[in-house]
């Protein structure tokens, strides 16, 4: 083993090997299932993160000191840290991550976290995510996408041009790359912050939230003239749904994902299903009952109806005999 690697905690090697192993297992599964281009696992010359399994913060790979410092196996000095929020439960693994802007984060995965239930409101809501509005509620409330896209899009184009013209492996190119990474990081932080605030607000207001199982790929393929960065939108919906789901568990509230079955094409009033509803049609007009309603509100109402109907059926079949009659 090379000398400079001697100080690295042995479990870190094991977890890295596990990652390589699962990359290959996934690759062979993709081949077997013939899921599009299988994509051979890429070689990574540098690791961007390392994982310390079974790390309890008292011994082993990472040790947490009471004065907001860390001891990391392999590093000679203790490291100062900023604790974003106190953690609870038992720490099971610690991941050390280096971002593309050369910042370091540690991520703790904990078990046995004590729930912190939010006050019940007896209210439920259907929620639609979209390109025009980020989130639409069935009562018509709309939350727009966070703002950074437009200005950053122009800056990104400018930086991409500069990077393309910069000399290969020059200091200048590295400087531009860092600037681009910082721009992405800034955007990401704005989006993350917005999503945290919105998910907290919704969970405070509603006991039950119904959302659609996202098929982002289909939606984006059918959206032609979107002026938003597709990758950002795609990640942002999935990340928002994930936040709602994990926070709901801790808050003792319910987030239910319903199958996306014609939620845009169905009339939320008479349930008539249209044959076609193009993405550019912003208003739902029902030929059967005459309903005229914003497309996203109509979808949110259908999502809510789907969510509640599944629940009613569930309660009926699961009710104990004593409750019947
Ligand atoms: Zn109708």
Q: What is the pLDDT of residue 128?
A: 92
Q: What is the mean pLDDT of residues 22-42?
A: 71
Dist CA 95 CA 105 (whole Å): 8
pLDDT tens-digit map of 153-195: 788 888 889 988 988 888 999 899 898 888 888 888 888 899 9
Ligand 1 centroid to residue 102 C-alpha, Å: 55
Specify whether domain 124-145+196-323 bears CATH 3.30.420: yes
Residue 321's pLDDT band (cuts 50, 70, 90) = very low
What spacing in Å lies between the alpha carbon of 257 and ligand 1's midpoint? 24
Task: Report every protein residue that has its C-beta within 5 angstroms of ion ligand 1.
Answer: 267, 269-270, 272, 286, 288-289, 291
Interval between CA 136 and ligand 1 midpoint (Å): 20
Gap from CA of 252 to ligand 1 centroid (Å): 36
The predicted pLDDT at position 218 comes to 55
Which pLDDT does position 16 carry in this prediction?
67
For the chain, which residues make up each domain, given as ranges?
3-111, 124-145+196-323
Task: Report pLDDT digits (tens) over 56-113.
Answer: 666 667 777 878 888 887 778 888 888 877 777 888 888 888 887 888 888 888 888 8
**Ligand 1 centre from 213 Cα, in Å?**
24
- pLDDT tops 70 at residue 301: yes
If you measure from the C-alpha of residue 274 to the centroid of ligand 1, how many angstroms do you get, rounded to a whole number? 9
Is pTM, for the whole model, over 0.85? no
> Regarding predicted confidence, which is higher, 31 or 240?
240
- Top mean pLDDT of 84-88, 102-106, 295-299, 317-321 is at 295-299
Tell me how far the alpha carbon of residue 273 lies from the centroid of ligand 1, in angstroms: 8
Q: Mean pLDDT for the chain?
A: 79
More confident residue, 216 or 101: 101
CA of 180 to the centre of ligand 1 (A): 49
Say how many Å lie between the CA of residue 131 and the centre of ligand 1.
Answer: 24
């Amino acid at each position: 083993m090379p000398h400079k690697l001697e100080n690295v905690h042995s479990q870190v090697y094991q977890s890295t090997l596990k990652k390589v192993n699962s990359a290959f297992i996934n690759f062979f599964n993709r081949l077997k299932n013939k899921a599009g281009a299988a994509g051979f696992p890429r070689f990574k010359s540098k690791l961007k993160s390392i994982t310390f399994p079974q790390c309890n913060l008292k011994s082993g790979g990472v040790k947490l000191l009471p004065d907001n410092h860390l001891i990391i196996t392999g590093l000679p000095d203790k490291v100062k840290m900023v604790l974003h929020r106190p953690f609870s439960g038992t720490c099971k693994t610690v991941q050390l991550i280096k971002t593309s802007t050369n910042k370091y984060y540690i991520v703790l995965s904990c078990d046995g976290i004590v729930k912190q239930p939010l006050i019940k409101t007896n209210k439920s809501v259907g929620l639609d995510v979209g390109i025009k509005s980020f989130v639409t509620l069935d009562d018509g409330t709309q939350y727009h996408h966070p703002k950074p896209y437009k200005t950053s899009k122009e800056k990104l184009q400018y930086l991409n041009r500069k990077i393309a013209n910069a000399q290969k492996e020059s200091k200048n190119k590295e400087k531009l790359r860092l600037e681009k990474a910082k721009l992405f990081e800034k955007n990401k932080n704005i989006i993350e912050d917005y999503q945290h605030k919105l998910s907290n607000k919704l969970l405070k207001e509603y006991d039950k939230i119904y959302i659609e199982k996202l098929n982002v790929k289909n939606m984006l393929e059918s959206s032609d003239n979107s002026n938003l960065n597709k990758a950002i939108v795609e990640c942002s919906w999935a990340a928002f749904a994930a936040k709602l789901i994990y926070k709901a568990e801790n808050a003792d509230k319910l987030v239910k994902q319903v199958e996306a079955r014609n939620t845009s094409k169905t009339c939320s009033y008479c349930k008539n299903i249209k044959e076609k509803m193009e993405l550019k049609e912003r208003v739902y007009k029902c030929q059967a009952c005459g309903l005229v309603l914003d497309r996203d509100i109509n979808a949110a109402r259908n999502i809510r109806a789907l969510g509640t109907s599944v629940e009613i059926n569930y309660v009926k079949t699961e009710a104990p005999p004593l409750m019947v009659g």
